[in-house]
Amino acid sequence: MTQKYNAQVYVTLRPSVLDPAGTAVRSSIQHLGYDTVEQVRIGKYIELSLTATDEADATKQLDQICDRLLANPVIEVYRFELTPVLEPA
C-alpha cells in the first residue's frame, strides 16, 4: 500500500549567511513605522506531493530531495511538514 502525502518545504538561509534582501525589506518595514521589527530573513516555500509507503519513507525521500536539490547545504537549511492526503472512499 502506498499513501499520498502533501509536503510543505521551507528553505532558509543559514544564520551565518548574509541576507541583503532581508535587510532591505527590514529597512522598508521600519520606514513604514513598524519599529518593532528587528530582523527579516527571506527564504523559499515549496509545495509538492509524493507517494510513499509510510511517513518514515516519505521523510526519507524528502530529506534526500532537499539535500540534493531543493536546498544547497552550503548556504541553506530546510524543514518540512508532511500531511497525508485522504483518498475519497
Q: What letter represents residue 68's amino acid? A: R
CA gyration radius, the chain: 17
Does residue 72 interact with other proteins by CB under 8 A? yes
Phi/psi for 83 (5° steps) reads: -130, 120
Does residue 16 interact with other proteins by CB under 8 A? yes
29, 50, 70, 82: residue in contact with other proteins (rule CB under 8 A)? 70
Contact 52, 2 (CB under 8 A): yes
Does residue 20 interact with other proteins by CB under 8 A? yes
Does residue 24 interact with other proteins by CB under 8 A? yes
1, 69, 86, 89: residue in contact with other proteins (rule CB under 8 A)? 69
